[in-house]
Every structure is written in C-alpha cells, then in structure tokens.
Amino acid sequence: MAGKQNQNQNQLNGEIRDREVRLISETGEMLGIMSSREAQHLADEAGLDLVKISPTAVPPVCKIMDYGKFKFEQAKKEKENKKNQRTVELKEVQLSMTIDVGDLNVKARQAQKFLEQGNKVKVTIRLRGRQMAHANLGKDVIMSFYEGLKEFAIIEKPLNMEGRNLILILAPARK
C-alpha cells in the first residue's frame, strides 16, 4: 500500500536513496550534482524539505522547498482546473417516420437549445414493423431535420443504421 502511495507523490527527505542528485535551491538556482546526504544537509540548514521532483532523470533532480506549501498550491491549481472544465453531454432527440412538420420544428428548436449550450445531439428514429422495409423514408426525415439545424450543427457521426434504429450524431458548429 505504501509503495502505491509513493508512486503518486514525490519522495521526501529520508526516502531519497539515490547516491547522487542534481540539486535546485528554493530560489530556483542550480546548485549542481552532489550526494543525497549533502543535499539533505543543505535542506535541513534551510529548514525546508528535500523533494525529488524528477525521479527519471540521470541523476534524479531534487529541489529544496516547503513541501506543505507545495502540496497546497498543487491542490489549489487542480481545484481551479476542475472548476474551469466543462463536460459535453450527449442529448437525444427521438423522431418517428410519420412525424408532422410542426412537431419536427418543435424537436428542431429543442435540439437547437442543446447545441447552443454546447452539447452534442443524438437524433434517432426507431423503425417498427414494416417501416424496416422503408428505411430510406426515415433517412429523409432525419436529413430534413438536419437541414433545419445546418447553421447550428455539424455532423459528427454520419447517418447509419444500428439494429432497428437510424442514428445521426450532431455537434455544435464552430462560431
């Protein structure tokens, strides 16, 4: 368990077992290559921690820093990045082969709202019974639906048949 935890975190002070390390001071100044004992001694004199920041380098790179403050700053950055992230959802609009023009326009307006919010839209038509023999009519319905949304959407995944469903995936158009 402790080994897994160390992989995610940097090695500190006594955990650094390398013979030689490249040392960077707390101000960012390169102090050169020295034994890990000497580096630890310098860190102790400064009252700070010795942290291995690049374990794969030859020799490994260590820095003298206040580790608690470093972890706090990292957590703050991660929190800020998470706040600025936006997830794109896939919204679904279901049509039927026998949909009327008015209903098609209502569905198109709904899809337009989803696209303006930055979400993707999955347009589906489920073919029932004998409609399977006339899938081309369903394709026409979906394409006329797309024609109404052309200025707001681009086709991300072209129209195709999955089982009994005709599916078209639209993404928001670049502004």
Specify whether 127 is located in the same domain as 160.
yes
pTM of the model: 0.54
Strands 165-172, 90-95: pairing is unpaired
Strands 49-54, 30-35: pairing is unpaired
| Per-residue model confidence (pLDDT) at position 111 | 93
> Distance of alpha carbon 20 from its chain centroid, rounded?
38
| Per-residue model confidence (pLDDT) at position 120 | 92
| Per-residue model confidence (pLDDT) at position 5 | 42
In tens, the pLDDT along 85-102 reads 777 789 999 999 899 999
| Per-residue model confidence (pLDDT) at position 174 | 78
In tens, the pLDDT along 44-70 reads 888 898 888 888 888 889 999 988 888
Helix (H) or strand (E) holding 136: helix 135-148
Mean pLDDT by 10 residues, the chain (175 residues): 50 82 88 87 88 86 89 90 81 91 92 91 92 89 90 91 92 82
What is the extent of the structural domain holding 34? Answer: 2-69
Q: Which of 37, 69, 101 is the last residue of a domain?
A: 69
* 3-class DSSP state of 33: strand
Residue 76 domain flag = no
Q: Interior CA angle at 91 toward 173 and 79, to 5°?
A: 85
